[in-house]
Amino acid sequence: MIQAKDIFSGTERVLPGGGLKGEITVPGDKSISHRAVILGSIAEGPTEIEGFLEGEDNLSTIEAFRLMGVGIERDGGRVSVLGRGIEGLSEPDDVINAGNSGTTTRLLLGLLAGRPFFSAITGDASLRKRPMKRVVDPLRKMGALITGRNDGGLLPIAVFGRRLKGIEYRTPVASAQLKSALLLAGLSADGETVIEEPEKSRDHTERMLELFGADIKSSGNAVSLKSTNRLKGCKIIVPGDISSAAFFLTGAALAPGSELLIRQVGINPPRVGIIDLLRKMGGSIEVDAGSVASGEPAGNILVRGSRLRGVEITGPELLPAIDEFPILCVAAAFAEGTTRISGAMELRVKESDRIAAMSECLSAIGVRNTETEDGMIIEGTGGKRARGGSIRSRGDHRIAMAMAIAALMTEEGVNIEGAGSVDVSFPGFFGLLGRTRVG
């Protein structure tokens, strides 16, 4: 089995700093990069991807499709995928190692359930703890034969691919990974697959399926797809990842004197919660919505340092900022007054239990907070520096990056254990931080 990189290693010390200044771009969107490789691999003809994220998670997706016989060439962020149609996938002759990537795992479970061969997926210590039942249960309703630890709820999981039938399914949680898994299964299921979510999660899969020629319709929180084995290869231009931009946006919003322009960031509506929430906290952010490329809107974001204030953040407000919980906790840590975040239960089953992780990290640098069952209460310092100290990232890239930004607002700086995890979604993060920081 191909071994994934050890992302739990490495310590980085981030010194206290002033603001962030300049003009930057951030690496390509992680979610869109995964989907471009997946759809390119099951489409007919070449798919050319520009701006592909060279993060460990996305490299896991590429390796998975190479194992299934797809020709994929990569030169930095340029990727060529030579798809031979969904029926061109062949049985992998080894276990697929998804590394740290929940997206790779869940989307592949959906796709593989309807392919006529055997496959098995595993991942790193963090991924092997994450819940897969939410995907496996509806796939079984579609006729899938899946086994694994904990009755198919935990990796390693084996899939005995076979013919599926379309279903109508209301998901218990708003999850783009779950929705996308069922859509990919729906491609090779008899009839139509209809999915309704309690709230609308990110819709990159729907947008890209349409681009590749699928018969897919969205209305409100529901989406329906007719089965097809005829997707056509495309050119995909991947915008910058707003979830990566979020660290720089927050760092600049927090520190007076900052002025940072981030170019060509994806601003798809179900992803821009961080902009709305920072504005709600009093942040000065201007968005120049420029272009639409490959069905995804992108634009430039200008942020200036300001005084942030504590706010109430509820579940529906957090959904379009689901991956931004760690950095929002940092924004709250240095805001004026108390921030209460609720409805964040999903954060307990991400790459780490992000509620427990952020509570521990903020306490470690001297910021008062209380962990609640579904969120956090954070007492902001009102712009004053926190003490600083040492934190454990738990191998979670977003915890490591959030605490690197927090370090700028401390007296002593922060030692980040498990700093290698940033390579999961943002290779070059520490270098870019070094180039934009003032002082």
- Which is it for strands 338-341 and 312-313: parallel, antiparallel or unpaired? parallel
* Other beta carbons within 10 Å of 204: 24
175 contacts ligand S3P (rule: CB under 6 A): yes
104 contacts ligand S3P (rule: CB under 6 A): no
| Catalytic annotation, residues | 323
Nearest approach in angstroms of CB 328 to ligand S3P is 14
What is the C-alpha to C-alpha distance for residues 155 and 277, in angstroms, rounded to an integer?
35
300 contacts ligand S3P (rule: CB under 6 A): no
Tell me if 88 sits within 8 A of 131, measured CB to CB. Answer: no
Nearest approach in angstroms of CB 178 to ligand S3P is 6
176 contacts ligand S3P (rule: CB under 6 A): yes
Nearest approach in angstroms of CB 265 to ligand S3P is 16
322 contacts ligand S3P (rule: CB under 6 A): yes
What is the C-alpha to C-alpha distance for residues 267 and 240, in angstroms, rounded to an integer?
9
Inter-helix orientation angle 397-408/429-436, to 10°? 20
Residues 19-78 close enough to bind ligand S3P by CB under 6 A: 31
- Is the Cβ of residue 144 or residue 181 nearer to ligand S3P in the bound state? 181
What is the C-alpha to C-alpha distance for residues 401 and 416, in angstroms, rounded to an integer?
9
- Is the Cβ of residue 175 or residue 294 nearer to ligand S3P in the bound state? 175
111 contacts ligand S3P (rule: CB under 6 A): no
Residues 216-235 close enough to bind ligand S3P by CB under 6 A: none
Give the start-end residues of each E strand in 20-70: 21-25, 44-50
Question: If DSSP codes are grouped into helix, strand and coil, which group holds residue 55?
Answer: coil
Nearest approach in angstroms of CB 426 to ligand S3P is 13
236 contacts ligand S3P (rule: CB under 6 A): no
- Is the Cβ of residue 271 or residue 437 nearer to ligand S3P in the bound state? 271
Residues 189-208 close enough to bind ligand S3P by CB under 6 A: 202
Residue 60 contacts by C-beta under 8 Å, 6 or more apart in sequence? 4, 97, 98, 99, 100, 101, 104
250 contacts ligand S3P (rule: CB under 6 A): no
164 contacts ligand S3P (rule: CB under 6 A): no
323 contacts ligand S3P (rule: CB under 6 A): yes
* Interface stretch with ligand S3P, choices 91-99, 117-125, 170-178, 187-195 (CB under 6 A): 170-178
381 contacts ligand S3P (rule: CB under 6 A): no
177 contacts ligand S3P (rule: CB under 6 A): yes
What is the C-alpha to C-alpha distance for residues 240 and 53, in angstroms, rounded to an integer?
9
Helix (H) or strand (E) holding 158: strand 154-160
- Is the Cβ of residue 31 or residue 258 nearer to ligand S3P in the bound state? 31
Tell me if 285 sits within 8 A of 249, measured CB to CB. Answer: yes
What is the C-alpha to C-alpha distance for residues 8 and 399, in angstroms, rounded to an integer?
12
* Interface stretch with ligand S3P, choices 3-11, 114-122, 173-181, 245-253 (CB under 6 A): 173-181
Nearest approach in angstroms of CB 415 to ligand S3P is 26
Question: If DSSP codes are grouped into helix, strand and coil, which group holds residue 373?
Answer: coil
Exactly one of 47, 103, 126, 294 binds ligand S3P (CB under 6 A); which one?
103
Q: Across the beta sheet with 338-341, what order do the strands follow? A: 312-313, 338-341, 375-379, 369-372
Which residues lie near ligand S3P (CB under 6 A)? 31, 103, 175-178, 180, 202, 322-323
